[in-house]
Amino acid sequence: MTRRTFLGMPATAPPGVGHLRGAESFPAAARRGLADPQLRRNLRHATTTIRAKSGGVIAELPDWEQLRAAGAAIKADTLARLPELLEQLEARVTEAGGVVHWAADAVEANRIVTDLVRATGVDRVIKVKSMATQEIGLNEALVAAGITPVETDLAELIVQLGGDRPSHILVPAIHRNRAEIREIFLREMPGVDPTLTDDPTALAAAARRFLRQTFLSTPVAVSGGNFAVAETGTLAVVESEGNGRMCLTLPQTLITVLGVEKVVPTWRDLEVFLQLLPRASTGERMNPYTSMWTGVTPGDGPQAFHLVLLDNGRSAVLADEVGRQALRCIRCSACLNVCPVYERAGGHAYGSVYPGPIGAVLSPQLTGIEDNASLPYASTLCGACYDACPVKINIPELLVHLRAEAVESHRRPTAESIAMAAAAYAMDHPRLYAAGQRAARLSRFAGRRGRGLPPPLNGWTGSRDLPEPPAQTFRDWWADR
């Protein structure tokens, strides 16, 4: 599966291509989101709504916890024998008339897809919403090759027309309200009615008119996949709008880019995820459209099917015994919707197509910790994400694990590492520790209630008072009793 290796270790996603790295650290990028009250309102409204809806339909199921456990177990089993399952998938897809391609990373995957599109002679493709193709920056690669990709998921279309980046896995335009969407449509959508209002039905109708025309005139589609069943070589896409189904059935050629972790062993396993995903994700009992296809069917649907199996750092994640649980992720975005940090900072702060808690653990693993070292710290470890995850990814545990990696990746001591080592030394020597407590007590004479501490501690005192250290520590009180 992994073709390219470096010193025997699986390769991580290459820099310079795709969208897994931000230009800034999380705290710097978060500043913009925090300073935008409209964004904060949009985000709070949307996440609160989805959270309530999801909570309601999850509460209907008496066996939700067992389903979560089953989902986690199936994924763990799949990851434990991933090479074998992928080879089985390849064999079944090939037997069914599809062509399987293996892509070690984003560069290779983009080249494969671009070459396949070029071979058809078209200069435009329709796209089904896909995180994998965003991850590898496929749209940019296609544009560079003179091919126009048209996103057909409504929210993705809004983001694409707005020249914007998605800020949520499930609701990419979560940061936009309907007035902003109307403006984007009026400005960028070909053939749009100039009297368009910001009524949601009118906006949807405008997108529908534009998309219908595009569906009927574009013979090549690119999709991702939610699941791939190894035993039959069947691909599955779940969606809410039906636009994906149009792309999957109308064109002559269908190219699917699939992260290698998306494979499941059998059809019976799908049953578990088709219950978990919609309830955790959109708060629906069942997703409105479930499309499945196996290779090609003569005279019906696409007559050429290509499956691109994408690694792009996944083998590196798999190689980490603690970290590999991030590959269980079914991209439901439940962790984003409950995360207090995501809600305030917004999705763009994570610098990756995978925002929120799962992004904070997945992105640094795919790229290598050095390229996303601030992300594992973008959490208070409150644990809401772990409780919400339908496949029980222990995100807080992973965050702590990756923080240790971030620290160990430093070749030279930092101010923080020196302070931490000194604190640990003092805490391991009770007399020094007590002396430190006395020093803290003396410091209360030094300043006005702990205000105006030097950096980095001014991060605290900018908005909060530190309590004055009390005159007597507990251990002094105890000794005096």
446 binds other proteins (CB under 8 A): no
Alpha helices in 81-130 (DSSP H): 82-95, 106-120
Residue 309: partners with Cβ closer than 8 Å, 6 or more residues away: 1, 86, 89, 90, 100, 101, 102, 103, 258, 260
293 binds other proteins (CB under 8 A): no
404 binds other proteins (CB under 8 A): yes
The region of 28-36, 83-91, 99-107, 167-175 touching other proteins under the rule CB under 8 A is 28-36
* CA distances in angstroms from 480 to 13, 139, 476, 477, listed in the order given: 60, 71, 6, 5
- Of 91 and 427, which has the nearer Cβ to other proteins? 427
**String of contacts with other proteins for each residue 344-383, x by CB under 8 A:** xx------------------------------xxxxxxxx
Minimum distance between the CB of residue 446 and other proteins, rounded to whole angstroms? 15
246 contacts 150 by C-beta, under 8 angstroms? no
Spatial distance between the Cα atoms of 402 and 371, rounded to a whole number of angstroms? 12
Minimum distance between the CB of residue 45 and other proteins, rounded to whole angstroms? 14
The region of 8-16, 91-99, 163-171, 472-480 touching other proteins under the rule CB under 8 A is 472-480
State the DSSP code for 260. Answer: G
SS3 251: coil
Closest CA to 243 of 150, 308, 306: 150
Minimum distance between the CB of residue 55 and other proteins, rounded to whole angstroms? 12
Minimum distance between the CB of residue 6 and other proteins, rounded to whole angstroms? 24
Minimum distance between the CB of residue 442 and other proteins, rounded to whole angstroms? 13
Residue 263: partners with Cβ closer than 8 Å, 6 or more residues away: 78, 82, 85, 86, 89, 227, 228, 229, 230
β-pair type (124-127, 148-151) = parallel
Residue 251: partners with Cβ closer than 8 Å, 6 or more residues away: 126, 218, 219, 220, 221, 302
Both structure tokens of 342: 């995501």
232 contacts 92 by C-beta, under 8 angstroms? yes
The region of 1-9, 90-98, 155-163, 471-479 touching other proteins under the rule CB under 8 A is 471-479
Closest CA to 295 of 123, 92, 113: 92
Minimum distance between the CB of residue 280 and other proteins, rounded to whole angstroms? 17
State CA 10 to chain mean position distance.
21
- Interface with other proteins (CB under 8 A), residue from 91, 119, 424, 442: 424
Minimum distance between the CB of residue 318 and other proteins, rounded to whole angstroms? 19
Minimum distance between the CB of residue 147 and other proteins, rounded to whole angstroms? 39
- Of 40 and 53, which has the nearer Cβ to other proteins? 40
The region of 10-18, 25-33, 56-64, 293-301 touching other proteins under the rule CB under 8 A is 25-33
463 binds other proteins (CB under 8 A): yes
115 binds other proteins (CB under 8 A): no
386 binds other proteins (CB under 8 A): yes
* Side chain identity, residue 363: S
- Of 58 and 155, which has the nearer Cβ to other proteins? 58
470 binds other proteins (CB under 8 A): yes
* CA distances in angstroms from 10 to 4, 5, 19, 299, 378, listed in the order given: 7, 5, 20, 42, 26
- Interface with other proteins (CB under 8 A), residue from 11, 17, 30, 360: 30
319 binds other proteins (CB under 8 A): no
CA angle 68, 72, 74 (to 5 degrees): 115
87 binds other proteins (CB under 8 A): no
User: Number of helices (H) and strands (E), helices first, in the chain?
Assistant: 22, 12
423 binds other proteins (CB under 8 A): yes
Minimum distance between the CB of residue 283 and other proteins, rounded to whole angstroms? 18
- Of 196 and 400, which has the nearer Cβ to other proteins? 400
480 binds other proteins (CB under 8 A): yes
Q: In the complex, which residues of this chain contact other proteins (CB under 8 A)?
A: 26-27, 30-31, 34, 40, 340-341, 344-345, 376-384, 386-387, 397, 400, 403-408, 416-417, 420-421, 423-424, 427-428, 430, 433, 437, 440, 449, 456-457, 459-460, 462-475, 477-478, 480-481
